[in-house]
């Protein structure tokens, strides 16, 4: 600590400089603000309208398969081939029999891409799957 003299006796400066701490906090805040939107979106999908909202399931019981307009597959926001997706789903169903597969397909994608996911689920004993849509506004 620094000491300053004041009229024949020493005074100890006991203040903490918080400027570097604030700089660090602002830098971390900026990093989180920039990276959060990138983590939220994996494929740009335009879901068809219809259906209704369902009761909430536990997040650990849901696996989401997404199919883009161009035929790109993703499992829980991670892009991969259909065969890899099916093999991971089979392993997940063995570990968690309550698992539900949500299938989100762009409304402009070819239906045979969706049908291949259906076939993969049916042929491997995955019986709980659901096609997802945007709920109609009321």
CA atoms within 13 A on the CB side of 116: 18
CA distance 27 to 21: 10
One domain for residues 63 and 127 = yes
**Residue 60, both tokens:** 């650990």
Q: Cα angle at 24 between 23 and 29, to 5 degrees?
A: 100
One domain for residues 30 and 67 = no
Give me the count of residues in the chain: 138
**In terms of pLDDT, which residue wins out, 2 or 24?**
24
Instruction: Report pLDDT digits (tens) over 29-74.
Output: 998 888 776 666 666 777 777 766 665 677 778 889 999 888 899 9
85 domain-assigned: yes
One domain for residues 36 and 77 = no
One domain for residues 68 and 105 = yes
**Residue 19, both tokens:** 């400027």
Over 80: is that where the pLDDT of 86 sits? yes
46 domain-assigned: no
Whole-model pTM: value is: 0.58
Q: Residue 69: helix, strand or coil by DSSP?
A: coil
The pLDDT of residue 81 is 92
50 domain-assigned: no
Q: What does the pLDDT average to over 69-83?
A: 89
The residue segments making up the domain with residue 13 are 3-40
**pLDDT classification of 26: cutoffs 50, 70, 90:** very high
**In terms of pLDDT, which residue wins out, 27 or 15?**
27
Question: How many structural domains comprise the chain?
Answer: 2
Over 60: is that where the pLDDT of 138 sits? no
Instruction: Report pLDDT digits (tens) over 88-103.
Output: 988 888 888 888 889 8
One domain for residues 85 and 119 = yes
One domain for residues 73 and 31 = no
**For position 93, which CATH number holds?**
3.30.420.270
The pLDDT of residue 88 is 92
Q: Round to the nearest angstrom and report the end-to-end CA distance of the chain.
A: 66
107 domain-assigned: yes
One domain for residues 22 and 80 = no
The pLDDT of residue 73 is 92
**Residue 29, both tokens:** 């805040």
One domain for residues 65 and 36 = no
Query: Can you give the C-alpha Rg of the chain in angstroms?
Result: 26
Instruction: Report pLDDT digits (tens) over 2-18.
Output: 555 555 666 666 777 88
């Amino acid at each position: 600590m620094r000491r300053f003299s004041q009229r024949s006796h020493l005074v100890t400066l006991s203040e903490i400089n918080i400027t570097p701490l604030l700089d660090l906090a602002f830098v971390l805040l900026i990093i989180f603000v920039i990276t959060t939107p990138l983590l939220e979106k994996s494929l740009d999908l335009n879901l068809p309208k219809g259906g209704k909202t369902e009761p909430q399931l536990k997040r650990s019981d849901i696996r989401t398969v997404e199919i883009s307009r161009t035929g790109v597959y993703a499992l829980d926001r991670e892009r991969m081939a259909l065969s890899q997706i099916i093999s991971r789903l089979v392993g997940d169903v063995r570990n968690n029999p309550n698992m539900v597969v949500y299938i989100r397909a762009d409304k402009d994608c070819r239906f045979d891409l969706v049908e291949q996911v259906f076939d993969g689920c049916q042929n491997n004993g995955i019986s709980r799957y659901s096609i997802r849509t945007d709920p109609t506004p009321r």
